[in-house]
Each structure stands twice: as structure tokens, then as C-alpha cells.
Amino acid sequence: MTRRLLSISLCPALFAALFALSKCDPEPPKKKGIVAIVYTDLTKSIDNETADRQKRNIEELFQNLAPASKFYLFSIDRGTNKPSIYEFIPRFTEIKNAEDEDKVNEEISNTKKAKESTELEKLNSSLNSYHASIAGERGPVSCISNKLNSLLDMIGNKKASFPDYEIRVFFYSDMIEQCENSFDGKPLTFQRAANDKEETKHLQDIQNRIEQNFEQGSPKKNLKSMDTKIYVVLTSQDDKQSLKNLKTIWNSFFGKLGLQPEDLVWANGNEDYFGKL
């Protein structure tokens, strides 16, 4: 009798559980590819050996991305909203029948070949051209923070243009801001001060400026809700600023754009998962 009562009492709970499972949200559709927004820093703060390694890393990322992925390369310099220095935006036929499948397979094959030859040459040429031009610039030219609002707008536009793609932003840089016209229109440097006392004041001043003066344009956007991933591939920075302090500074900037410290991935070189979904 007890066993029968227990069985009866469990039935409603079991049915409720099954009903809840049947109402689970469906899995989101698989992403078609990656929209890679890449910033390269080949300013004179980086030596030629490091610059060459950075170029190779960017070219490797480009080749490792799936054929359908989009690739936009931007330079780090004084500008706030400059056009890309290289783009690769392949588009394939929409599949409606078996013949279309054969056509798309051919398009994918041709895209892979182009990425290994002509497009790789164009990318390399763009990197070398930027490197040559920025090396001749005088004064502070490494401006990153003044690009963040335009980056935010760009991510919103790419999200709207490619809703089935994942947005990933890559900074190939030492992330040392040295800029005459930074995010608040004033000079800014992240390079460490001469002594500990001055450095403490220097870091606090940066944090105060970010807190008081770094604001998004309107309407405000949130990188977290836009499912954007940020990767920082460091070139070299130990002689200019500690990694701990750099992370604290950039966490403050990106925190105002909706990201938590754990949402920023810091690396010393390319990782296998950079180009994979």
C-alpha cells in the first residue's frame, strides 16, 4: 500500500518535469563563421623583430579563419575613426538546390586558394605599407582608447549585417597608450612613471579620467549582450608597464562597455581557438 501511494505521489512530479523539459528553449542556430575585427600596432614603440612576429601572427589568424569568415584590419595610430587598411569579405551563393551546393563548394575551394595566395599577398602588403608609414611618424602615435566608441558602433553595424556570425575583436599590440589626443581630448600615456610614488599618482589619475570622462555615445551599447569576444595578443610591454596595471586600466575601459575582466582574453601569441567556433 505504501509503495502504491509513493508511486502515485511521484507521478505528478514526474509529469511536471517532463512538461518542463518539453518547453526548453531550442538550441540557438550554429554560427556561420566569425567576423574578425583586427587592430595592428606597428608603431615605433615596437622593434622590427616584434613587428615581424606580429605580422606573421595576423597572417596566421587570417588563414586559420573558416572560408566564410569576414576579416577587417585596422591600424593603431592617431586617428579615431579611420577606414580599414585591408578587408576580406567573401560571399557565397544561397543554397536552394543540389546544383547550388556544388557551386558553393567550388566557391569555398576558390576562397581557400585565394587566402593562401593573392589575398595573403594583399594582407602582407597592407601590413608592410602601414608599418613603413607609421615608423616615420614623430611624437606619440599609439592611440587606442579614442577608437573604442567607433569600435562599438562598428560592432553594432557588423552584428546587424552578419547576424549569423560571431564578432571577435583582436588587438595585436603592447596596449601602451601614448597619445596626444586621447579619449578625453588630452594627452595620455600608460608608460610607468619614474618612481613608485609618481606611478601611484599616475595610475590613479588615469582611473579618475576614465571614471569621469569616458562615456559612450548615444544610444548606449553593451558588448556582453552583443556576444562580442575581445582578445589581446601582447607584443611586448614589460619594459614600459606591468601586465597587472595594464589589465586594470583596460578592464576599466571595457567595463564601461559592458564587459567583465574575465571577458577579456590576454595572450602572448595566437591560440588554436582564435579562428574556430
Q: Is residue 139 part of a domain?
A: yes
Please name which of 151, 175, 168 lies closest in space to residue 71, comparing C-alpha atoms. 168
Q: Going edge to edge, which strands form the sheet with 188-189?
A: 141-142, 178-179, 188-189
Q: Is residue 16 part of a domain?
A: no
Tell me how many domains the chain contains: 1
SS3 letters across 108-159? HHHHHHHHHCHHHHHHHHHHHHHHHHHHCCCCCEEECHHHHHHHHHHHHHHH
Q: Is residue 8 part of a domain?
A: no
What is the residue range of 264's domain?
Answer: 31-275
Find the mean pLDDT for residues 183-212.
Answer: 95
CATH of the domain at 188: 3.40.50.410
pLDDT tens digits, 35-54: 999 999 998 878 889 899 99
Q: Is residue 11 part of a domain?
A: no
Q: Is residue 154 part of a domain?
A: yes
- Residue 22 reports pLDDT greater than 50: no
- Residue 238 reports pLDDT greater than 80: no
Q: What does DSSP say about strands 70-75 and 33-40: parallel, antiparallel, or unpaired?
A: parallel
pLDDT tens digits, 98-138: 787 889 999 999 999 999 999 999 999 999 999 999 988 88
- Residue 17 reports pLDDT greater than 60: no
Calpha distance 134→3 (Å, rounded): 81
Question: What is the share, in percent, of the chain residues with pLDDT greater than 70?
Answer: 90
Band (219; pLDDT cuts 50, 70, 90): confident
Residue 171: the pLDDT is 96
Least confident of 91-95, 171-175, 241-245: 91-95
Looking at every residue in the chain, the average pLDDT score rounds to: 88
Q: Is residue 10 part of a domain?
A: no
Residue 32: the pLDDT is 87
pLDDT tens digits, 57-83: 999 999 999 999 999 999 998 877 789
11 residue type, one letter: C
Residue 21: the pLDDT is 45
* CB half-sphere exposure, 211, CA atoms < 13 A: 7
Please name which of 234, 171, 174, 177 lies closest in space to residue 203, comparing C-alpha atoms. 177
- Residue 97 reports pLDDT greater than 90: no
Is the pLDDT higher at 239 or at 251?
251
Band (248; pLDDT cuts 50, 70, 90): very high
What is the DSSP track for 210-229? HHHH----SS---TTTTTEE
